Amino acid sequence: MMLLSGCQLLERPVSHTPDNSEEQLHPCADENAQVIKWLDYEHRYISSTLDEKRKLLIEAEKRQQTTLHALLLSAPGQSPEQLKRALEYLSTLKISPSCSAGQYVQVRTRQLQLQLNLLDQQYTLERQVDELQRQVDALTDLERQITRQREEH
C-alpha cells in the first residue's frame, strides 16, 4: 500500500506555494478573483471621462461580458433607462449565490431594484409637486382676478 501511495505522490506535481493549497480548499477562488476584476473595472469606469466610459461599455458589450456590462450600466450617474437595462441583464444571470460573485451580483441586483423604486417614487413626487404648483398658480390667478374686480367696484 505504501508503495502504491508513494507512486501516486510522485505523479502529482508538488506545489510549493501556499496559495495553491488554499485554492483547492476554496472552490470559489476563481469567482472571488472575478469579483475583484469587476470591482477594478467598475472603479476604472466610474473615474473615467464620458468618452472613456462609452468605450468601456462598448468593450464589455463586444466581449459579451453580460455581467460586467450590466454592472457598468448600473454604475452611479447612469440614466433610468440604463439602470432598467442593467436590472434586466442581472435578473437573467444564473450565478450561484454560494460564492462571492453570486452574492455580489445578488446585492447589486437588489440595490438596483431599490434604486429604481426610489427613482419611481421621486418621479411620482415630482409630478405631485408640479400638480400642486399648477393648483397654487391657478388659485393665485383667481385671487388676482377677485382683487381686480373689487378694486373696479
Q: What is the pLDDT along the chain (153 residues), one digit of tens a residue?
A: 444 444 444 444 444 444 443 334 455 667 778 888 888 989 999 998 989 988 988 888 888 788 888 999 888 888 899 999 999 988 888 777 777 888 888 899 999 999 999 999 999 999 999 999 999 999 999 999 999 999 987
| Secondary structure of the chain as H, E, C letters | CHHHHHHHHHHCCCCCCHHHHHHHHCCCHHHHHHHHHHHHHHHHHHCCCHHHHHHHHHHHHHCCCHHHHHHHHCCCCCCHHHHHHHHHHHHHCCCCCCCHHHHHHHHHHHHHHHHHHHHHHHHHHHHHHHHHHHHHHHHHHHHHHHHHHHHHC
CA–CA separation, 133 and 6 (whole Å):
85
Our CA angle for 49, 51, 57, nearest 5°, is 100
CA–CA separation, 47 and 56 (whole Å):
12
Its pTM stands at: 0.65
The answer to whether residues 13 and 42 touch, using CB atoms and an 8 Å cutoff, is no
